[in-house]
């Protein structure tokens, strides 16, 4: 039985990396060490000790990895936003790809027929078109910044290296406007022309994706790294390119990127979105950009989809799912697993564990699908987060 206690210092060798933490073993326990990299030996202070694992933070690096780099951001030791600024980008990509594979094996108990190499972001820094700030007390003053890893403390910042330059300019000047004095949080978005909108009030503006201008809202989700989103859209297009005269169901449609840009050959597109502000932009985008038949539905997916599936249709049916981080409602996953009309299902996820959980249902004993391909995309460079898309086809 391990005797490792919280507060003590340990020496541990690191052999892998997961979700921002180096992973090693000591006295039969798994050690998750913040700030450590594979191949390193580190001295670390134990933050918490559980029966099967401990969490620790690097005190000193006794044997450094050849892939270790000096983080360019001065806030890295305190800010909870970036976990990989101390790691060479090629290695970050390699470990993110491995994380998707391992999560599918461990949780989904499944491997795809084809696993595609991770798609890198063209830019490691300056890519985010949106950031959310928090305002709190700093002595007798108020300050804007990001939450620390404890999700309680606020780290005042003057500049975020992964944000677009227009956002940083606003951070240094615009946020100090008196109208934001009593705000506890503020989301900023930079549009296609570099103008910054805040969510203090609802504003609509244009974002350009693959040369097409989409209506977006200061209070609705939009892809934060457009060059990577474009790669994802191109991949979906490639996956469904052999299909003709198909129906496309875009579920959790947001403002309509995938339905509009991937449904150009579809005879009909059905877009489902329940977020009120997103629906406003969604309707405008379909009105302006969709040339063929479409229908927009704003109710819960599990309620709206079943009647649509019951309609008779000739030809393939493609379902694109882009759910929130929590993944699919279990009831919806089970409905889809038994559906007899969908021929191609594309699942977009920013949380690998929930992707694996849902794919296990869709491809399990009671499911009709097989996992044909998985493609990871580095939507969030320098952070532990990663986007992945899975293509499921009928067995």
Domain boundary among 67, 82, 103: 67
Report pLDDT for 141: 82
Which of the two residues, 122 and 136, has the higher pLDDT score? Answer: 122
Per the domain annotation, does 130 fall within a domain? no
Contact status, residue 301 vs residue 254, Cβ threshold 8 Å: no
252 and 361 inside one domain: yes
372 and 303 inside one domain: yes
59 and 96 inside one domain: no
Residue 72: strand, helix, or coil: coil
Per the domain annotation, does 188 fall within a domain? no
Give the CATH number, domain containing residue 98: 3.40.50.150
Residue 138 pLDDT > 90: no
335 and 388 inside one domain: yes
Q: What's the token pair of residue 81?
A: 């936003």
* Sequential DSSP letters for 272-283: E---HHHHHHHH
Report pLDDT for 311: 84
Domain boundary among 20, 52, 67: 67
Average pLDDT for 210-239: 98
Per the domain annotation, does 373 fall within a domain? yes
99 class by beta-carbon count within 10 Å (0-12 exposed, 13-18 middle, 19+ buried): buried
Contact status, residue 264 vs residue 246, Cβ threshold 8 Å: no
Q: What's the token pair of residue 386?
A: 């990663």
Per the domain annotation, does 145 fall within a domain? no
Q: 89-103 and 352-362 are packed helices; what angle lies between their axes, rounded to 10 degrees?
A: 30
Residues sharing a CB contact under 8 Å with residue 365, sequence separation 6 or more, in sequence order: none
378 and 331 inside one domain: yes
Q: How many domains are there within the chain?
A: 2
Average pLDDT for 262-281: 96
Residue 238 — very low, low, confident or very high, per pLDDT cuts 50/70/90?
very high
Report pLDDT for 6: 93
314 and 380 inside one domain: yes
Per the domain annotation, does 62 fall within a domain? yes
Contact status, residue 97 vs residue 89, Cβ threshold 8 Å: no
Average pLDDT for 289-317: 90
pLDDT, tens only, 79-102: 989 999 999 999 999 999 999 999
Residues sharing a CB contact under 8 Å with residue 257, sequence separation 6 or more, in sequence order: 209, 214, 223, 229, 233
Report pLDDT for 140: 78
Residue 234 pLDDT > 60: yes
270 and 381 inside one domain: yes
Taking residue 342's Cβ as centre, other Cβ atoms within 10 Å add up to 21
Residue 1 pLDDT > 60: no
Contact status, residue 184 vs residue 134, Cβ threshold 8 Å: yes
* Listed residue (193, 226, 232, 228) closest to 209, CA to CA: 226
47 and 104 inside one domain: no
Domain boundary among 33, 52, 67: 67
Per the domain annotation, does 110 fall within a domain? yes
51 and 104 inside one domain: no
Residue 151 — very low, low, confident or very high, per pLDDT cuts 50/70/90?
confident
Per the domain annotation, does 257 fall within a domain? yes
Rounded Cα distance between 332 and 274, Å, is 15
Cα Rg, the chain, nearest whole Å:
23
Mean of all residue pLDDT scores within the chain: 95
137 class by beta-carbon count within 10 Å (0-12 exposed, 13-18 middle, 19+ buried): exposed
Residue 136 — very low, low, confident or very high, per pLDDT cuts 50/70/90?
confident
Between 145-154, 265-274, 286-295, the lowest mean confidence (pLDDT) is in: 145-154
**What residues make up the domain containing 54?**
1-67
Helix/strand/coil percent split, the chain, to 5: 25, 35, 40
Residues sharing a CB contact under 8 Å with residue 81, sequence separation 6 or more, in sequence order: 75, 146, 160, 162, 383
Rounded Cα distance between 55 and 49, Å, is 7
Rounded Cα distance between 395 and 392, Å, is 9
6 and 54 inside one domain: yes
Residue 366 — very low, low, confident or very high, per pLDDT cuts 50/70/90?
confident
302 and 385 inside one domain: yes
Length of the chain: 395
Residues sharing a CB contact under 8 Å with residue 76, sequence separation 6 or more, in sequence order: 82, 85, 86
Q: What's the token pair of residue 298?
A: 């704003």
pLDDT, tens only, 167-182: 999 999 999 999 999 9
Per the domain annotation, does 143 fall within a domain? no
Between 4-13, 130-139, 266-275, 306-315, the lowest mean confidence (pLDDT) is in: 306-315
Give the CATH number, domain containing residue 13: 2.40.50.140
Residues sharing a CB contact under 8 Å with residue 28, sequence separation 6 or more, in sequence order: 2
Q: What's the token pair of residue 155?
A: 């780290």
Residue 2 — very low, low, confident or very high, per pLDDT cuts 50/70/90?
low
């Amino acid at each position: 039985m391990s005797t490792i206690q919280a507060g003590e210092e340990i020496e541990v060798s690191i052999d892998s990396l997961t979700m921002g933490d180096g992973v090693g073993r000591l006295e039969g326990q798994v050690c998750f060490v913040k700030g450590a990299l594979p191949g390193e030996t580190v001295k670390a202070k134990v933050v918490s000790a559980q029966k099967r694992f401990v969490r620790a933070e690097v005190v000193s690096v006794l044997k450094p990895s050849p892939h270790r780099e000096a983080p360019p951001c001065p806030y890295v030791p305190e800010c909870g936003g970036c976990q990989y600024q101390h790691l060479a980008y090629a290695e970050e990509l390699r470990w993110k790809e491995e994380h998707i594979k391992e999560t599918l094996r461990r949780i989904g108990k499944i491997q795809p027929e084809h696993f595609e190499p991770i798609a890198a972001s063209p830019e490691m820094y300056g890519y985010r078109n949106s950031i959310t700030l928090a305002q709190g007390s700093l002595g007798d003053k108020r300050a804007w910044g990001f939450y620390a890893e404890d999700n309680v403390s606020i780290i005042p910042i003057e500049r975020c290296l992964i944000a677009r330059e227009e956002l940083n300019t606003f951070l240094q000047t615009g946020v100090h406007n008196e109208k934001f004095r009593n705000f506890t949080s503020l989301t900023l978005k930079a549009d296609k022309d570099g103008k910054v909108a805040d969510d203090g009030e609802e504003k609509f503006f244009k974002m350009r994706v693959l040369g097409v201008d989409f209506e977006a809202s200061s209070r609705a989700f939009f892809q934060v790294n457009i060059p990577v989103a474009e790669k994802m859209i191109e991949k979906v297009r490639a996956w469904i390119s052999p299909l003709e005269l198909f129906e496309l169901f875009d579920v959790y449609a947001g403002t309509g990127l995938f339905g509009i840009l991937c449904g150009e050959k579809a005879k009909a597109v059905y877009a489902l979105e329940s977020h009120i502000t997103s629906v406003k932009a969604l309707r405008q985008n379909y009105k302006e950009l969709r040339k063929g038949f479409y229908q927009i539905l704003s109710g819960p997916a599990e309620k709206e989809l079943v009647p649509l599936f019951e309609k008779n249709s000739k030809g393939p049916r493609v379902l694109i799912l882009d759910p929130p981080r929590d993944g699919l409602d279990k009831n919806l996953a089970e409905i889809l697993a038994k559906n007899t009309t969908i021929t191609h299902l594309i699942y977009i996820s920013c949380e690998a564990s929930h992707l694996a959980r849902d794919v296990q249902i869709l491809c399990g004993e009671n499911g009709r699908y097989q996992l044909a391909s998985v493609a990871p995309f580095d939507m969030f460079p320098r952070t532990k987060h990663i986007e992945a898309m899975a293509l499921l086809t009928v067995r």
